[in-house]
Amino acid sequence: MKAFDLLRTLDRWDSQGLWAFDLPRLELIFDETPGSLKTALMRHAKAGIITRVTRGIYVNPRARSMPAEPLLALVSIMRPYDFSYLSLESVLSDAGWISQIPFCHTLMTSGRSGVFSTPYGVLEFTHTTRAENSQEVVFDGRRGVHVAAPERAYLDLRYVRRNLAMVDVPSREAS
């Protein structure tokens, strides 16, 4: 695939709102063998035409349709078949229950645990078998990801046996 063809295709898909691609989708878009496609993508990523986010995930760096928080928007692309939601230290820090700002976004997932370092930041997935409760986990359209309530995030932190010493749970009388 030539750079011109890639740019033209990325721009066409960007006008449709598609700014990130997984390898299977790219294989459908471009009529090339998997080996030559991967070689071309590596070459074009080195040239800065396309950005490799993690294994098998690519982003159009010129996309106008890219969301305000691309790291969180990548969650559904990286884990399309798993239920994942923002929780643990990320939510507790946002709620003011932890004074520190976490170095990564922490998520609970029905899939495998793992840490992904991307050009946009770090995502940490922690596996859970706990069922989703719609009152405790809601979709945040602005961020493009499901988010746990602080109470649920605290219970998740206990469930995965992480450090609770840094959490300052507000008393019920204060509210």
Query: pTM of the full predicted structure?
Result: 0.85
Q: Which residues contact 76 (CB under 8 A, 6 or more apart)?
A: 84, 144, 145
| Whether the Cβ atoms of residue 54 and residue 118 lie closer than 8 Å to each other | yes
Q: How many CB atoms lie within 10 A of CB 147?
A: 22
pLDDT, tens digit, for every residue of 56-105?
Answer: 999 999 999 999 889 999 999 999 999 999 999 999 999 888 888 888 99
| Whether the Cβ atoms of residue 23 and residue 72 lie closer than 8 Å to each other | no
Q: How far apart are CA 116 and CA 121, in angstroms?
A: 8
pLDDT band of residue 166 (cuts 50, 70, 90) is confident
Options 1.10.10, 3.30.2320, 1.10.1740, 1.10.3470; which CATH number does 3-64 get?
1.10.10
Domain boundaries, the chain: 3-64, 71-165
CA contacts within 13 A on the Cβ side of 67: 15
